[in-house]
Amino acid sequence: MSKPPADWISLSEAADLLASSNVHFTPGTIGRWARTGHLQSIKLGHKRFVRRSQIRGLLRPAAEHTAPEDENLQLALLD
C-alpha cells in the first residue's frame, strides 16, 4: 500500500507524536475523536489517518491557535 500524503499520519504515529511531548492517548482514543468528527481523518482500506497539523495543534496552548476551528479543538475533545 502506498503512503498517504505527508500531512496525514496513522493513529499510532499520532499517539507517538503526542507521547513525545508527554501527552499520552491511545491510538484508539485518537481514532474515536476522528470517527466522531473532532479530528479530520481519511480511511484507506482498514487504516485511518489524521492530519499531523491537527495533532500538533493539540500541543500548543489555546492562545497560540490561529485558525478558529483549532481554537475549540482542545476543549471539544474533552467533552
Reported pTM? 0.72
Query: Mean pLDDT across the stretch 58-70?
Result: 64
Distance CA 8, CA 63 (A): 25
Is residue 71 one of the residues assigned to a domain? yes
Range of the domain at 50: 8-78
Element (H, E) at 18: helix 11-19
Assigned domain for 56 exists: yes
| Neighbouring residues of 71: CB distance < 8 A, sequence distance ≥ 6 | 62, 65
pLDDT digits (tens, 9 = 90+) for 14-57: 999 999 999 999 999 999 999 999 999 999 999 999 999 999 98
Smallest CA-to-CA distance from 51 within 3, 5, 8 is with 8
How many domains does the structure of the chain reveal? 1
Asked whether residue 24 is domain-assigned, the answer is yes
What pLDDT digit, counting tens, does each position of 16-28 carry?
999 999 999 999 9
3 falls within a domain: no
The verdict on residue 1 lying in a domain is no
